[in-house]
Structures are given as C-alpha cells and as structure tokens.
Amino acid sequence: MSISSWVKKAVAVTVFFCSASFAATTAPDFTLKSSTGENIRLAEQRGQVVMLNFWASWCGPCRQEMPLLDNLNKKYGKMGFVLYGINVDEDTEEANKVLQKIKVNYPILFDPESKLSSLYNVDSMPFSVFIDRKGQVRHIHKGFLPGDDEKYIKQIKELISE
C-alpha cells in the first residue's frame, strides 16, 4: 500500500473520531459567569439550538475558528441558535488578551476550574457540543480543520429545522 493510501486512511479515521453523532443524551446543566459579568444557565436556553465551543488562549485552531463561529452566530442567531464560547484557561486574563485581538459578538463564558469541561468530557481543543431544542446532546466535534464550518452549518440547520 502506498504512503498516500495510508495517509488517506489515517485522515478518514481521524475525521470519523473527531466528529461524532450519537444517540442523544441530556446535556448537563450549568451556570457560568460570562465576559460581561452575567451568569448564564444552560437550562434557560431550552427551546434554542445551543452550541458550546470549548477553547483555550494557547490553542491556535481555536483562534482560527473563532471568526468563523462569529459569522455562524450572526447568520443563525435570529433563527433559534445560541453559541457560547467556553474558555478553559485557569487565568481568565489570558482569554481576555485573545478577545482583545479577536473580536467576537457571541457570549464568552469562563470555566477556569474545568468543572464544565469535566462534565462534558472535553479532551481536546477546540471541542464543540451541539444541543437540540429539548436539551439533548446531538453532535460533538473535536478539533478544527478548515472546512469544518460547513459541517457546523449542516448540523445547525438540521437542529433548527426540527
């Protein structure tokens, strides 16, 4: 088998494990403080399609993904879609430095003790969770590669239309 065949198989396996759809489970509820100082509770978002995007200041793919997520938020925000960026840095000042450089309009929540990250079994950065209107986890996406925003659009449209 040629090297290019091996590479293609490795990429296919990676993509399979990095983007998962599965039998829905109830999303763990949480309350976190946002960058504006208000507390955000997931249960209060019932009836909306919610995307939780876990990110860290040191994560290059996270920073690359943020402007694309901001565009998704602008496009689908009026259609029943809510996006929360969940920063996992222990020092929130590191997150704020990134946010000064990369302006986003979606709410940023802080999880400095990684309690929420543990609830959602976050094991890579970025890590996105799609939750349907009934509060069920429907899709998980690990990592970010150019073009992943097209997968996000498909999943958002699917969940909004239900």
59 part of the active site? yes
Q: What is the DSSP string of 18-57?
A: HEEEEEEEEPPP-EEEBTTS-EEEGGGGTTSEEEEEEE-T
Q: What is the DSSP string of 122-158?
A: --SSSEEEEE-TTSEEEEEEES--TTHHHHHHHHHHH
Q: Are 89 and 117 in contact (CB under 8 A)?
A: no
18 part of the active site? no
Break the chain down into helix, strand, coil percent, rounded to 5. Answer: 45, 25, 30
The closest alpha carbon to 124, from 65, 54, 70, belongs to 54
Among 32, 59, 83, 86, the active-site one is 59
Residues marked active site are found at 59, 62
